[in-house]
Structures are given as C-alpha cells and as structure tokens.
Chains A and B, each alone.
Chain A
C-alpha cells in the first residue's frame, strides 16, 4: 500500500449504530487530519493530530470521536449519527508536524450514508 488509505470506502449506517472509520498513511508523516466534505459545501476541517496529540477540534459534535494510536493510524468513531452527517469523510497527512507550510496528502475518503 502506498500513500493514504481509508477503509471502508462506503458505509451505510442507522442512527443508532456505532461504527469506525480507519485511515492509514504509509508516507512517514507525523500529522493527520479528518475532513468532512458535503455536497456543495467547502471541505470542513474536523480534527488535527500532530505527533499523536490532538491539536485541533473544530467544534465537532461529540458523536464524532477521533483516535490516533500512533503516527500512522487515525480512526473516527461514530455513534448516534444524524442524517445530516452523511458526507464524504477524508483523511489527510502531512510531514513536519501540522504546519500550514506543508502539503497535505489525502486519502480517497469514506462515503458515509446515515439512514
């Protein structure tokens, strides 16, 4: 595997389910990000981890819970979601910490549908 991978690629869940999205980066980076991309809306930054420490929580509801066990892996735990949470969830990584000087490499995303 190369680059940034995300699993699953598609997920359909009910509002009472609990699921997790997984992201893995194979680039040796030390910063990782979760973004939400909804139809006809700009990319929204959700969380930033730098050196495995969460450094940004962009006013995200508590039904989204991130986890970064090491610099290569990032999870997004989901529970009691709402239909408006349906979107493409993108993971990204960058080198040199989470400086805005460094380009971010994105994964292909997980298409989430909440019924």
Chain B
C-alpha cells in the first residue's frame, strides 16, 4: 500500500521552513526521500531505517517515527534550489528494494 504524503503542495519564500510528512498504514523498515525537478530524474536525498540509522544529504534533515509509521522531511532556511517535487518511498522489509512511493509534494520556493 502506498504511503500518504502531506501537504500536496507548498509555496515558500526563500529562508522559510517547511515540513513534508509521509505516513504509512503498515509497519515500515525504511523510508527513502527523493527530489525531482521538472524534466529531470529523481535525486536521492536521504534514507532512514528502522532502529534510527540514517544516511543522506548533509543539509537535509528528516525523522522517522516507527510507532506512528511516519517520516518527516524538514526543509530549513529554504533556497530557490529546493524547488521540486519531493517523494517518499517506503519498504516493509529489507527485500529487493521494493519501494512504494507516495504521490509527491510539490515545493515552490520564491525569491
């Protein structure tokens, strides 16, 4: 079952903060975050694992609440380059990279 992302879209001014949430109805093993700019390939941002391990982008932060089966991505002091669509991908186990992706959150950062 696909995770649910919220909000669907957000408009920010440069320097503002935003939070993108990704929720699942099933127990999660890992959460991946990717950003896709229009006409480009999705780019990896971060992976969060059950148990607290993380790996990813130095300037992006995220959290993983195992009890709530939810992950949040924090965009802090946003820059114009943060614009794009953010996707979370979730897996229930460490098997075959089978990620279920959310519908995406469109982020627009304006000057």
Q: Which residues of A contact B (CB under 8 A)?
A: 4, 31, 33, 40-45, 48, 50, 55-56, 58, 90, 94, 98-109
For the complex of A and B, the 8 pairs showing the least CB-CB separation, nearest first, are: A100-B91, A98-B97, A106-B41, A43-B101, A103-B44, A42-B101, A98-B96, A106-B42
Closest to B56 in A: A103
Q: How many residues of B contact A (CB 8 A)?
A: 29
> If the complex has contacts A42-B102, A43-B89, are A101 and B94 also in contact, measured as CB distance less than 8 A?
yes
Q: Which residues of B contact A (CB under 8 A)?
A: 2, 29-30, 32, 34, 40-44, 47, 49, 55-56, 87, 89, 91, 93-104
B97: chain A residues within 8 A (beta carbon): 31, 33, 48, 50, 94, 98-100, 102, 104
